[in-house]
């Protein structure tokens, strides 16, 4: 649930909203929807509350074409996120309420088709580790998203092929001043490709010892909610299509930019033709 306001509220104040967007969310579900819009089959492994909100969330995923057969329903109240977005600047604050968790027992790998890529977010670390180990044995590429410092997810880094993290996490967790220094430290944990996203500054990545920086695209941004998930969508699309690191970062930046032109984490996720049209028109970049 995202409330749009004209001006960011002060503590203790009351203001009127100027817009409201209600839709499902979550880092991995957003990416699964994004990849489906880009033309790939995707499936979600998670747990949802067996309540009205949980079933509505699954209905939304199903309507987008995401395979929902492996979602486990649990007793309890659905996770709820509430955000406040300032119109014009796009500044936002999110409040996350997690109630439902995925346990390793919920991950029944014998039932799953063999994927090309597994995308994880580390919220339920033991379940993620089980999926990552199975994926490696099955020959899948393992991608991992860390957006902020809420729990120590470093124990799983050794299982990850592509670690893509926000600078808010990388700089804080690694005690580094720059994205490049953070990447150098993260590589002590993760043997694969490491990427740090930096919002309007773009992204920096290192693969096989080679560093690459790609600036972000300039668009009229109305909401940054889910921009990181959109970046992961484009990055994984690039993996599936054999893009090199610079091309993956650029395509991720394009998907993120398009997402930011609309409210909500999912509304602005583009189709492949929309993404290609955006790039063909030589969009402006931040320096």
CATH code at position 264:
3.40.1190.20
Q: Does the residue 109 lie in any domain?
A: yes
- Average pLDDT score over residue span 29-50: 97
In total, how many domains does the chain have?
1
Q: How far apart are CA 242 and CA 222, in angstroms?
A: 32
Q: Which residues fall within 8 angstroms of residue 91, CB to CB, at 6 or more apart?
A: 8, 85
In a domain, 59, yes or no: no
Give the separation between CA 53 and CA 58, rounded to whole angstroms: 9
Quick check: is 217 in a domain? Answer: yes
Is residue 122 one of the residues assigned to a domain? Answer: yes
**List of residues 6+ apart from 273 with CB closer than 8 A:** none
Q: Is 64 a domain residue?
A: no
Domain membership of residue 205 as a residue range: 27-42+103-280
Using alpha carbons, list the distances in angstroms from residue 24 to 19, 75, 255.
17, 19, 19
Is 20 a domain residue?
A: no
The pLDDT assigned to 150 comes to: 65
| Structural domain includes residue 48 | no
Per-residue pLDDT at 149: 62
Predicted confidence band at 278 (pLDDT cuts at 50, 70, 90)? Answer: very high
pLDDT single digits (tens) 8-20? 888 888 888 878 8
Lowest mean pLDDT among 47-56, 73-82, 238-247: 73-82
Q: Among 46-55, 61-70, 99-108, which range has the highest average pLDDT? A: 61-70
Please name which of 222, 236, 276 lies closest in space to residue 254, comparing C-alpha atoms. 276
Cβ neighbour number for residue 75 with a 10 Å cutoff? 8
Q: What is the pLDDT of residues 167-213, one digit of tens each?
A: 999 999 899 999 999 999 999 999 899 999 999 999 999 999 999 99
pLDDT of residue 22: 79
Pairing of strands 2-5, 19-21: antiparallel
| Residue at 17 is within a domain | no
CA 193/CA 199 separation, integer angstroms = 19
What is the Cα–Cα distance from 274 to 143, expressed in whole angstroms? 25
175: Cα separation from own chain's centroid = 23
Distance from C-alpha of 38 to C-alpha of 53, rounded to nearest angstrom: 27
* CA–CA dist 180, 171 (Å, integer): 10
């Amino acid at each position: 649930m995202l409330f749009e306001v004209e001006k960011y509220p002060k503590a203790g104040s009351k203001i009127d909203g100027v817009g409201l967007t209600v839709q499902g969310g979550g880092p991995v579900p957003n990416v699964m929807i994004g990849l489906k819009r880009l033309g790939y089959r995707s499936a979600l492994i998670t747990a949802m509350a067996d309540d009205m909100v949980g079933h509505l969330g699954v209905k939304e995923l199903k309507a987008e074409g995401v395979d929902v057969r492996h979602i486990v329903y649990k007793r309890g109240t659905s996770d709820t996120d509430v955000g406040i977005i300032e119109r014009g600047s796009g500044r936002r604050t999110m409040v996350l309420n997690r109630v439902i968790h995925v346990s390793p027992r919920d991950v029944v790998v014998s039932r799953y088709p063999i994927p090309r890529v597994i995308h994880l977010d580390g919220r339920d670390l033991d379940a993620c580790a089980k999926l990552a180990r199975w994926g490696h044995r099955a020959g899948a590429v393992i991608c991992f998203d860390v957006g902020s410092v809420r729990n120590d997810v470093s124990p799983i880094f050794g299982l990850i092929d592509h670690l893509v993290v926000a600078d808010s996490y990388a700089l804080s967790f690694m005690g580094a001043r720059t994205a490049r220094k953070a990447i150098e430290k993260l590589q002590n944990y993760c043997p694969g490709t490491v990427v740090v996203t930096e919002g309007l500054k773009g992204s920096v990545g290192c693969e096989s010892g080679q560093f690459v920086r790609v600036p972000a695209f300039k668009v009229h941004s109305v909401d940054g909610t889910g921009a990181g998930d959109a970046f992961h969508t484009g990055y994984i699309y690039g993996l599936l299509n054999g893009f090199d690191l610079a091309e993956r970062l650029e395509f991720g930046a394009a998907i993120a930019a398009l997402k930011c032109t609309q409210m909500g984490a999912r509304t602005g996720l583009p189709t492949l033709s929309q993404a290609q049209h955006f790039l063909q028109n030589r969009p402006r970049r931040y320096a």
